[in-house]
Amino acid sequence: KQEVTQIPAALSVPEGENLVLNCSFTDSAIYNLQWFRQDPGKGLTSLLLIQSSQREQTSGRLNASLDKSSGRSTLYIAASQPGDSATYLCAVRQKDSNYQLIWGAGTKLIIKP
Amino acid sequence: DAMVIQNPRYQVTQFGKPVTLSCSQTLNHNVMYWYQQKSSQAPKLLFHYYDKDFNNEADTPDNFQSRRPNTSFCFLDIRSPGLGDAAMYLCATSRDPGSSVTQYFGPGTRLLVL
């Protein structure tokens, strides 16, 4: 059974720092992995989707990597800003689950001005 | 510009009193999903519709039902809400169930059960 883990559960860093969020998964039989952002009391916004055949995807200050063999993904945020404060969730699209995304519980990120 | 709309944003109901949450989409997507998300937890898929084909997750309680009268709208009915059903309910859509397709989420409805 696929399990997705995000450590740490919470992270607080000063503004301007580069930072890395981690996501690990136990079963490498995935179609893709997605990173989402969730602001307090709000829905989720898709940030990046990495197909299983890809190694990384970039959007602006965000870079997501995928190492399927080791079951790891990272989300790199460059030059962090207070507006980046949110909870970041990763989710994998499992090959044997058809529709379902398997989610991590998220990392709550606080960027201190 | 709103693509996935959920109403209401906040819903207060009484223990055991039926409640309906609404989701609509302007994307003309074929698939609509309902998730339950409790505080500091990952979203949990309750069910989804692929067009009119309803798919219930195995561990979704019978207390939860859904209706999709047309492509644009989907409803979540909670027949007898319990205190444990207090959560954020997220609606999402995708163009199709394909493996490379992104899901688009609405802002959620926060349900409080008194």
Mean pLDDT of A9-38: 95
Chain B residues close to A106, C-beta within 8 Å: 40, 42
Task: Give me A30's structure tokens.
Answer: 């995935």
Residue of B nearest to A50 (CA): B100
Residue of A nearest to B96 (CA): A99
Band of the pLDDT at A95, cuts 50, 70, 90? Answer: confident
- Length of chain A as a residue count: 113
CA-CA distances (angstroms) from residue B54 to B4, B9, B70, B79, B101? 19, 25, 13, 18, 19
Question: CB-based contact (8 Å) between B43 and chain A?
Answer: yes
Band of the pLDDT at A98, cuts 50, 70, 90? Answer: low
Eight-class DSSP state of B86: -
- Sign of the Cα torsion B38, B40, B41, B46 reads positive
Task: Give me A56's structure tokens.
Answer: 């990384």
The tens digit of pLDDT for each residue in A27-59 reads 999 989 999 999 987 888 999 999 999 999 999
Chain A residues close to B88, C-beta within 8 Å: 41
Our CA-based measurement puts residue B15 at a distance from the nearest CA of chain A, in whole angstroms, of 22
**What's the rounded Cα separation, in Å, for the pair B114 and B112?**
6
Our CA-based measurement puts residue B17 at a distance from the nearest CA of chain A, in whole angstroms, of 24
